Structure 1
Amino acid sequence: MNPFDATGFVGSAGVIGLMVLLFVETGLLVGFIFPGDSVLFTAGLFAAQPTPFAPLWLLLVALPVAAAIGDQCGYLIGRRFGPGVLTGRLMHYIGEDPVVRTNAFFDRYGPVTVIFARFIGIVRTLVPLLAGVARMDRARFTVYSGIGSLLWCTSLVTLGYFLGGVPLLRDNLELLFLGSALTIVVPMALTVVRRRRAGRVQGSE
């Protein structure tokens, strides 16, 4: 299944599938390909239908828990493997810019970064990893991670639940999902282009 097809994913994966996706998005580096914002909004939209795929209360409980557990996994990976994890092959696909931006957030906002990074694509995948690499106090990380996961999941699911019935939004969901997907695809594409140009420059010298 196309990971950007939020509607198709939510419709077929169910609550368990949603929990797995949210776990992977921050627990494993490959999760940066998933547009979690769109998936959460769509989950709220589907929960508001006459025959919902899941009750709203279940989504508001289960999804933040899955997101927080994913944070813990990402944190442990960063803490276990240290800075070396930032030089792996997968990081080349993510690019240097998101890492630099995430580090800048940490420098400016400190541990609070763990909260608001939840609302920024790719950055929410990198924050737990970098927090582990930096050996941020785990108790503090867990508190901020729990707050961020709760705010992120509940706000977007609730937004989908109450606003999904608005005709303007309901009729233009594809544009919302496309916008979310582009926040991931465009940085990746720019990174690939820059690397190819750099390779050509080095080859011509």
Structure 2
Amino acid sequence: MAKTTPDADHTAATTKVAEDVESGNVVASRTGRKLPRNYDAMHLALRVMCLLASLVSLVVMTSAKEKSTMSLYGLDLPIYSKWSFSQSFDYVVGVSAVVAFHSLVQLIMNVRTLLKKSSTISSRNHAWLLFAVDQVFAFAMMSAGSAASGVTNLNKTGIKHSSLPDFCKPLQSFCDRVALSIAFTFFGSFLLAMSTVLDVVWLSKY
């Protein structure tokens, strides 16, 4: 009966790992660890969706402006509304722009590393950095969406016990665009939160 030596076993294992890497079943990281291909695919997909969500939020909000007239005490008054008139909407635009830039940079880096058949996360320090940054931006997007929601609700309902009217009736297009932008802001926050979960998974296993 033939016996295999430890050197032969090591060579066979090395060959098997090389074949897996070559076939795309695993991705080799710079630290020598092996990650499943679907992990990096999920990371890449989240970056793409986060980039698109933040861009939609940014573009829709910056296009929110409308002129109309409204009746107040029997008088027809011209009104004009624009996103830049509200600091909360400015906040949404600023945060969305920063998150879009962050997502684009991470997406480019991820594509480059995957083309080299390396992991999208190169080390524990890298994973911790991504976890911290993604978490900060997730909270920032949630904060911006919440602040903008308060202003939008005020425009929709007016102020109780006062004669301030519902501005969204004559400015329906403006309010619809703002609402859509806020929805994508919250969606972007959710995607960033999911990205932090993937970072935690990586840290727990590697």
TM-score tier by shorter-chain length is under 0.3
Whichever structure has more helix as a proportion of its residues is 1
Q: Report which of the two structures shows the higher radius of gyration computed on alpha carbons.
A: 2
Whichever structure has more strand as a proportion of its residues is 2
* TM norm structure 1: 0.27
